[in-house]
Structure 1
Amino acid sequence: MSATESDHGFRRAKRPRSPIAGPYGHPFHATIVTIPIGAWTAAVVFDIASLLGAAPGALATGALWLVVIGVIGAVVAAVFGLLDFSQLPAGTKVRRTALWHLGFNSLAVVLFVVSAIVRAGDPDHPSVGGFILALVGILVVGVSGFLGGELAYRHGVRVADEQDQRRAYNG
């Protein structure tokens, strides 16, 4: 890839594919991912509390709802993430990192869907199996989040150009 092609790919990755992806410098994907991350983290906390005996029925039911809310949020976030992904040039390190990020997120969604299915069998009682799946899922989300940070903070995907950033530091 020539320097001109590389520069074009770099600049294209900073721009939204469409207004639906969020305005320049403000990607919606980064905002929406807080829904599944928060819901799934809360589900694990509810699981721990329910397994320790604190209102186990209510917290087990709450954990199931949180897992489902997280799955729905993850699917919505994936749509916006795919819009950003489509701007990345093929054959680049940034595209490979994004593929790993996508793969880990997909694995997390599968783990949480299975967790929801396991929990749905007896929603009013704590589920050790559902908890273990959720715990593994949260670890996978952590790895994926690290890769998402690489994409935004190291590779500058959907981050404003340095010239635009510099203006904020000039008076």
Structure 2
Amino acid sequence: MMDPSHEQAKRPVSAALAGPYGHPFHPILVTVPIGAWAGSLVFDIASHLVHDPEFLVRGAMWLIALGVLGALAAAMVGFLDLFAIPPGTRAFRVGLVHMTLNLLVTAAYGANFLWRHADHGPGAAVGGGMLALNAVSFAALGVSGYLGGKLAYGYGVRVADEATQAEGFVPTHRPPGITG
């Protein structure tokens, strides 16, 4: 029998806003900032390897902006998922650390975008400080992603219960030649 507090963490606060049972929107939305910020880091590094880096510098700046917007969308539904976790539990504490890290990372990327927008001269590779901020922010995002994985795969937050999961492994028909 599943603990009622564990079952509560599997159900959305609002299925319309956070995604239906067993299919939350948060993990779908986090792919936008992760991909955008990974691309921006690659562009930043590549800007030091080419003769005319301006297109990479500009691309990295706009990927950072796209990531910030995507992170804000992911945070909105992530808050709803956090509210489904009973306070005072280990899962809730991990969720708070995950949320705090993500907000700090988003703020760092927002600051990086503003810094680039205000301070970068044309034709030069991305500055060392901007590149370092991007790399440190991305590393912190990796730590936060690990915690998000712990919430979903370790604690089963917003993941369908085992009985529901088992439905996917019931054969729908018997292959030819198998009896009994």
- TM-score scaled by structure 2? 0.89
CA RMSD of aligned residues (A): 1.5
Residue of structure 2 equivalent to 1:155: 155
Given that 1:74 and 1:109 are in contact with CA atoms closer than 8 Å, whether structure 2 keeps it comes out as: yes
Given that 1:112 and 1:134 are in contact with CA atoms closer than 8 Å, whether structure 2 keeps it comes out as: yes
Residue of structure 2 equivalent to 1:91: 88
Q: Secondary structure at the match of 1:97?
A: helix
From the CA coordinates, give the structure whose radius of gyration is larger: 2
Match 2:69 to one of 59, 65, 72: 72
Higher helix proportion: 1
Equivalent-residue separation in structure 1 for 2:24 and 2:51 (angstroms)? 39
Equivalent-residue separation in structure 2 for 1:77 and 1:97 (angstroms)? 17
**Which runs of at least 4 in structure 1 moved beyond 6 Å after TM superposition?**
none
Equivalent-residue separation in structure 1 for 2:152 and 2:120 (angstroms)? 41
Unaligned runs of 5+ in 1: none
Name whichever of 146-155 and 49-58 sits farther off.
49-58
Deviation at 1:106, TM superposition (A): 1.2
The number of residues matched between the two structures is 167
Deviations 1:72-121 (A, max 9, x none): 10011000100000011010000000011011111111211121122112
The equivalences for 1:110-129 within 5 A come to: 110-120=107-117, 121-122=119-120, 124=122, 125=124, 126-129=126-129
Unaligned runs of 5+ in 2: 172-180
- TM-score scaled by structure 1? 0.93
Question: How much identity, in percent, do the aligned residues show?
Answer: 44
Given that 1:67 and 1:112 are in contact with CA atoms closer than 8 Å, whether structure 2 keeps it comes out as: yes
Deviation at 1:129, TM superposition (A): 1.7
